[in-house]
Structure formats: C-alpha cells, structure tokens
Chain A
C-alpha cells in the first residue's frame, strides 16, 4: 500500500448563483501564477459563450494549479468550478465526488441563499471538508459578520476562521490558498492498488474521440495502457493522458489522487457513461467506485430539426451533448406537424433553455421546440397507470379515470415590499400558501405548494419582473396530486396541430386557449385563403380567431430594370417559405411554435 501524493488538494467551489464562484476561481489561478494577469479573460473557466453572456456557470470545469505554501512545500491544487443554479445540481454532485474539500462562498451582503444550502448538503453527503469564505466584502452593503453568523446558525459550520475576501479586488486571496492547504485533507487511496478512476465528465473531440475527465482513486494510468469500464466490456488503448492547466496538457501518466483526462480513441459515445469507473483491462480492480444518483427529468419538450433532413445531425448533436451532460435524456419522437425529432427531458427550465441554445450555437442547428411539459400520472379506467409527458400521447378522455400532476414545494425569498405581488402571482398559478418566515428585516421566505406545470412556463420571469429582480426562487418536487387536467388542442384550418397541444388545468383552459388563438393569429402570416385558428378541449371549440386572406402581395412595377431585382426578391420570399412547416394546407413559420410559451398578462 502506497499513499498518494500528500501535497495534492482536490477541491471545488460551491455557492449560490452569482455569489462569485467563477471570479474567485479566476483569482486563485492568477495568484498561483497559472495565468498571467495580462492573459486573463474575465471568468476564465466559463469558456462557453452562453456562460459568459449569461454570467453563469453551466458546466463544471477542472483546472490544476501549483501553490508554494508558507509551510515551504509546493502543493498541487485541482480545482473544479461548479454551476450554482438549481437546475445544475447534478453537475455539482459530479464534481463533489472527485474532491476532498469544498470552498463555500457566501456573499457578504446576501448571506445564505437557497442554493448555498442545497450545495452544502450535497458536499456533506459526499464527506467533504467545507471551508467557508465570505466574498464581496468590497461592497458597501457587505455585512460579513452577519454572513458569518448565518453560516453558523443555518448551516452549523464554524465560520470564525472564514477568510473575508473580495474576489473582484483580489483582497485576501492568499488566505484562501493557505486555508486550502491547512483544512483540506490530502487524497486517500493506494498507488499500488489496481487502477481505478471515476469519470466525472466527458466530451467528444473530433480528433481524439471521447475525452474522459477523471479523478484517479487508486493506482495509475499511462499512455499505452489498456482500459475498460465497469459497465462496458469494450477495451481501449490509452492514447493520451494529461491535466488541466487550465487547457489540456499531456503528461506521461496520472496517479492516485490526481485529476486529469484520458483519451483512448473511444469513438462510440454510448460506451462510456459519466459516473462509471475506469479500470485497467489487464489488472482489474474488484469494486467500482460509487457512481451518482440517477437524476430524474422534470421538464420535457419536443425538439425537431427545422429542416427535416437534419434529423441525423440533431441526433449526433444530442448524443454529444449527453456525453457532456448525462442529465439530458432523449428518445425519438414523431409529430404530424414537425416530422421526426426527439422528446427530451431536462432538469429544469433553465437546463432546457441552455440545451436548446447549445444545439443552435455549438452544432449550428436550427431547431423547433414544442411547449415544455411535465410528466403526468394518468390512471386509466382499466386500472393501468401510465406517465405521460407528451400531450399528444395522452389516452382518449374516455379511457382516463383520473390524472395527477407533479407538485413542488417552492421557497421564494424576497424583500417584504413585494409580498403582495408574489402572493397574487402564486394564487394565479394555483399555489397554496404554506408559511411565511421573516429571515430578517429585509428578507422574507414564502413557502408555497405549486403545481409544477404552472411554474415551467414563465413563473421565474414573472417573479423577477414583479419584484424588480429582488426575489429568488427555488423548488423541489414533493409528489403527485390529483388534478382536473385537460388537453388543449389547437386547430389550424380545421386540422389539429399536435405540436401545439398542451395539458392544462381545467380552470385555465379557456384563458390559455383564447390567448393562444390570439397569439397564433398574429404569428401566422396571411395566406391566399382565410384560416380559422381554433382552440378545442375534448373536441369542443372554446375559442376562435381568423387569419384573414392576404389581399396584396405584388410588386407594382416590373419593367426592364426591375426584373433582376424582382427575381431576387421572390427568391428570398421563397427561401422564407422553405423554412415553414406545412400543417394541412397552412404554411407555418417556426416562430409559431414558440407562441405557446407566451402568455398575455403582464
């Protein structure tokens, strides 16, 4: 038995969204000389465009640093930056399994937030040593002592030694590094044992195949080794191993306690799953490492290629994204209106949005997404229970005994000034008030039971707009409840458009139907004939609008000089038509399918 290098510290940073994780990570890298100040691009580890634009971390990102401690030794730090948003808890739990310690950042002015707690519990579950750090002490509204007191009261951690830092200004960063050396344990494991490493992330490289991000627990791996995983019987030869510096830097090998990557010409994306354990094929370890809890999708939507012939490209893109984000699930689906596509499951609305954006940006795909749905429990008259997340798969009304919908427990934090607005909104969304707690003079926690299908549309946006951005919101699913749900169909020129069907509560069917008719009327371009736009529940029409026939679409003049120009114009118009879907005889632009997400009030 040989203990791994005792001068390694593997840790991550956890925090509520926007408490400064990525900024602190950048600062640590700068302080350890990993990157020169000159090369610093703001938020170095948020490398995706979407991350920079939205100012949030979506993906975990590992990086290796060297630190000369005051104790005279040089330490290797492996830091894993993690997302803060509730939808990405899965990413966080993956990084935690690869670490021994976690830096817990608490915003000096905002204190403990919903996601701070969630992440702390995750870290505690993983037996991590937690080092609290109070950030943003440069802000005039900073109240570091109160933040410390909250950490002690709410989480029960001793915060007396917590460094007070400003990641923005670079104040007291050194203290954080020293504390990491002092408080985080070195990795355990056995260098002499057979090789065993946890896959905590992966992505697909066009030249090298699948790249595995691993935390080596036992033994070591080097170029030329034969590897396999516990769940697959395929054997691969390692072509490259290395560390994150922060870009990938090849090395001869990785040993127990280290964090790095492995490339082994793995071509098939399905063969290696995040959470699986990599082992040496010639010297197999006996037991796999504990993987991750399988996560449950809560929001579903259909994703279709705008151009039907791009189905294969969409499939490849989804597979590659899944490799990078195991929480994304999908299966092939067909729609009369949209053709071949996929039914996809996500951890939340933001997760869904981000995935849609990544498909468009990273894979250059034009996609159409259908309305988000939750998974409903349908008890049929024959006693069978089925789960339905796609409105068009709902059994006929005559076969449905009853339906249940997922219910969440929601915590809404807000300054007291906005309580009225929030309560109004929750009432509109069929929320049931449970409790109100004054956290301090400026902060109230409201607890509600809410149907999940009411919050997946625009709840978050509305909370933000009604409280001028002050409120924050977190939820967890607590179970299913019986509910009077109906399927709302939209008919274009008499034909049901399956991609526009939604499941709604009986009480809101009429309003949603009317709003949708109005929105669709505006979104569908006028055509050569009149198009009735109708909303129907169970075959009964409940709302109707009409897209009038187009009266004028002509170029007034077409003489000698106009011919080329006119032809170009018509070609452009034709291009636009090509991007439309035909439902029955109606040509529908893809934006129409997004109308379902809009509601008309405020």
Chain B
C-alpha cells in the first residue's frame, strides 16, 4: 500500500518491474491519495481497515504520521 498525493500507477509499476522479476511473483500495489485513505477509513472500508489493524512493515513513513491530523 502506498499513500501519496501525486504518484501514479504507471510510475509505480515501472519501478516495481525489477522487484517482480527478482521475486518471481506479481507485486500488486494499492495506491491511495491522503484524501482517499481518510475517506475509506471513515467509510470503514474492509481492505483499509484490515491493513491498518494488522502489523505492518513501514518502508517509508510511520504509523504516527499516518494518524496525524494534518496527514
């Protein structure tokens, strides 16, 4: 899951192609803008709720940043 105001799927898939080859499996990212993730949290979206409840490996950012009021 990637949260970014500007990153597009094309850019992400382009960047992930080497990882896909290394891992030998399809990497399937989900991209949200800060607005989208806030809206989905408010709507109790099943996927978002599940991901946020489970343990995560943060590649960039922190739990605190995600929960900050201005995020």
Q: Do A and B bind?
A: no
Residues of B within 8 A of A (CB): none
| A interface residues, Cβ below 8 angstroms from B | none
